[in-house]
Chain A
Amino acid sequence: MASGNPYQSTGAPTGAGQHVPNYLVQSIIATACCCLPLGIVAIIYAAQVNSKVAAGDISGAMQASNNAKMWSWIAIGLGLLGQLIYIGFMVLGGVASQM
């Protein structure tokens, strides 16, 4: 809660609209559930969102926010893809053992 934090100027015209999402929840879920180091990249960007917002660098924070969003979805997507490939191999293995 640094001073100069835009959130603390409630009521000011610039204060209310500048919510910069950090996608921390998605990033943690991606890291823990999808077993992927890419989730860690997303968490690093999430941390950057908060430090940049605290420093007043809103455009930098938005860039970090977009990166956090992108990497958490890449991690979740790769996790699901890995799962599909794994199921594919299991099915192939099952079929092969029948032949």
Chain B
Amino acid sequence: MNAQPPVLRPGRRLLAGLGLGALAIGGFALLRWSDSVDNAYFPKCPLYSLTGWHCTGCGTTRALHALAHGDVSQALASNSLLVLGAPVLVIGWTWRRALTLHGRPPGVFAAKWIWLILGVIVAYGVLRNVPYYPCTLLAPH
């Protein structure tokens, strides 16, 4: 059994971090200075164009645009799972990274949590397509 090398070497890891940081700042600036995302400069979902299906990620660009303008209620209307769920994942991930960096391997978290995340993602993607109240609150609007 070989020990798996880390995903990225420290130098590469720093570079990837800086790249992602620059991307995030650039993305925020672009969203902040755009009046709307309903134009050709922002990517559209090919799946939605083809099927009209509101998948789990539907409304992500609109939600981020609303957040960049400080409009939390519009962000929740566009994609509530992103607004409520992403911070949970980011905090969890940061917590585990911090444990690892302090030399305390955080252990393997039980697979049931990953199944739970998957279940939430799938359920959200199904429920927001149900055309009856209160499911209609989940669809981007």
Contact = CB atoms under 8 A, between A and B. Distances in A.
B95 interface: no
Contacts of A74: none
- The binding surface of chain A is classed by DSSP as helix
Nearest to A69: B7
- The binding surface of chain B is classed by DSSP as loop
Interface in B38-90: 40, 43-49, 55-58, 60, 82, 89
A34 B115 CA distance: 20
Please classify how large the interface on chain B is, using the bins under 10, 10 to 19, 20 to 34, 35 or more.
20 to 34
Interface of A: 1-2, 5, 7-8, 10, 14, 16-22, 24-25, 28, 31-36, 40, 43-44, 46-48, 50-51, 53-54, 58-59, 62, 65, 82-83, 85-87, 90
Interface of B: 1, 3-4, 6-7, 40, 43-49, 55-58, 60, 82, 89, 93, 105-111, 114-115, 117-118, 121-122
